[in-house]
Each structure stands twice: as structure tokens, then as C-alpha cells.
Amino acid sequence: MASLREYLVELGDTGRPLKATKLLRLSHLTDEQRGEFLDFWPQIEAKRRGQVVHQLVDLTEDNVDLNFDAIFLACLSDADPGVRAGAIRGLWEYDQRDLIEPLITLLRTDGDVDVRAEAALALGCFVLQWEFGSLRDCYFRQVEQALRRAIADDGEELEIRARALEAIGACSLPWVRQAIDEAYRSDSHRLRVSAIHAMGRNCDLSWLPTLFQELNNGDPEIRYEAALSCGSLAEEVAVPHLAPLIEDEDAEVRAVTIAALGEIGGREAKTLLLRYLDHPSQSVREAVREALSLVDFDEDALSSGFHQ
């Protein structure tokens, strides 16, 4: 097997295709290997670096045992904004608090809107940690302050404000509910979409009437987010409201609705899903089978718990 240095030279050769099997060598780098990688990485042209990071992100989504965190963390300061944004996405499962300060810095100072938006969204991981009691207040206050400032800044890019709202959405503090409500009532379509998304993360059942109303919205993007949030809130009362969207004209709305029914579970959702096992559309049939597997899993878990 070639040394890491030899592989890095190959990696930088734009005339050679990137092979996933070889990229696996970059998983779980030792400190020595990480130093070797960082020394060589800037010599690779930006487009190629972006392609590498993109493929590494795809690999981690397919296999949670892989770990490219050392590379993604280093790439947060890459000269290319596409690489920086990709690195943030690659750290979606990284929950160590040493990531908080770099993300806040990127949110506040990066020159690229996409990078700042990705940084805002990634901070949502630490909002959840605080809600579950696994992040100290002193760290959460930094996150809260950064996101709240972004949301409240009318001169800020809408995409950044929207992503910040989604990130803080899981927080139970009163000001967050108010921020979601204000965004929902705003004239900005982008903010309204994120507000509906945040309603599902907010775990406040008082949002349900609003979500039920938006399931009938003429905009498929709004219907999609409303169905997604219904699934996140996981209340069986949502099932009859979701039912018509299984036949929605938009394929993504149909898919997210079926997935939401699987998340909600219960007898009514299962009965509804079973009606679509023989649907003419293969994509609908596959989505229904996956949703039913979630329902059946929950039923088995409840049954096991009952007999213990």
C-alpha cells in the first residue's frame, strides 16, 4: 500500500478520478497523519479540494463508522468558501463544544453567505444539547447570543436569518417562540418557510393549528415544511390532516408526508399507510414500506416494554 504522502499526491492529481475506496484512507487520521495531510492540502487546487470534501461528506452520511473530523475541522479555515461550507456540513455529528467558537466566528465574519448560513444552522446542535441538559449555560449563552443577533438584524441576509431561526427553533425560551411567530407573520417568504420548519423543532403543540392550516397552502414548499413539522411533533391528531397529502401533486410533499406518518405512528397512521402498499407509484410504495417499518418498530418496542 502506498504511503499517505503518495496517496495525497495522487489525490491532488486532477487528471485522476476520485475513488471512494481510497478516500477511506483519510478516516481516523492519527496526529502525525493529520499534520502530513495539512501540510499538503493547500497545494491541491480549490476545485479538487471541494470535490474531496463533498465526497467525504457523502461517505460519512452513508457510514457513521467513518470519521473525517480532523479534515473537516481543518477545512473550516480553508481559502475556498465551498470547502468551508462543505466542512461545516461534514461536522453534522460533531458535538464537542470546541466547535462553538469557530462556528460563531464564521457566522459573524465570513465573507460568504452560504458559509455563514451553514454555520448558523450547525449551531442548532448545541441548542439541542442545552435543551437536553448536556451543555453548560455559559456555552449556550454564546450560541444564543450569536443566533439571536442574526435573527434580529433586519439588514442581515435573509438566508442567514432563516437558518439562525431554524437553529434556535428547538429552544424553549419565550423569546424563541416570539421570533418564530414574528417570522411566520412577516412579508418574507423565506422567513415564513423557516418559521414553519422551526415550529416542528420547537416541540410546542400550540403550533399544530397553524401547521394544519399550512398543509393546505398553495405553495408546495410550505406544505412540505408543514408536513415535516407535523412529523416532528408526532401527535396522532395530525394524521387526518396529513392524509390528503399522500396524493399531493408534488413528489417531495408526498414523500415527507409518508415519512411524517411513520414518525407519528399509532393505529390510525398504520391503517392509512397500509392502504398505499399497492400504490401505482414505486416511490410511494417504497416510502410507505419504510414508514411502516418505523411504526412496527415502535409497536414492538412498546410491546417489549409492556411485558418486562
pLDDT of 36-92, one tens digit each? 998 999 999 999 999 999 999 999 998 989 999 999 999 999 999 999 999 999 999
Name, in order, each residue with C-beta under 8 angstroms of 230's C-beta and a sequence gap of 6 or more.
Answer: 200, 208, 211, 212, 215, 238, 241, 242, 260, 264
What domains are there in the chain, each with its CATH number?
204-308 (1.25.10.10)
Q: What pLDDT sits at residue 219? A: 98
As a three-state string, the secondary structure of 246-265 is HHCCCHHHHHHHHHHHHHHC
Per-residue pLDDT, 5: 85
Judge whether residue 291 has pLDDT over 80.
yes
Query: What pTM value is reported for the model?
Result: 0.90
Residue with cell 470534501: 53
Residue 154 has pLDDT above 50, yes or no: yes
What DSSP string runs through 33-99? HHHHHHHHGGGS-HHHHHHHHHHHHHHHHH-TT---HHHHHHHTT-SSHHHHHHHHHHTTT---GGG
Residue 303 clears pLDDT 60, i.e. is over it: no
Q: How is 105-116 classified by DSSP, letter by letter? A: HHHHH-S-HHHH
Query: Each residue of 115-145: pLDDT tens digit?
Result: 999 999 999 999 999 999 999 999 999 999 9
- Radius of gyration, alpha carbons of the chain: 22
Summarised one tens digit per residue, pLDDT across range 240-279 is: 999 999 999 999 999 999 999 999 999 999 999 999 999 9
Of 204, 183, 203, 206, nearest to 193 by C-alpha is 183
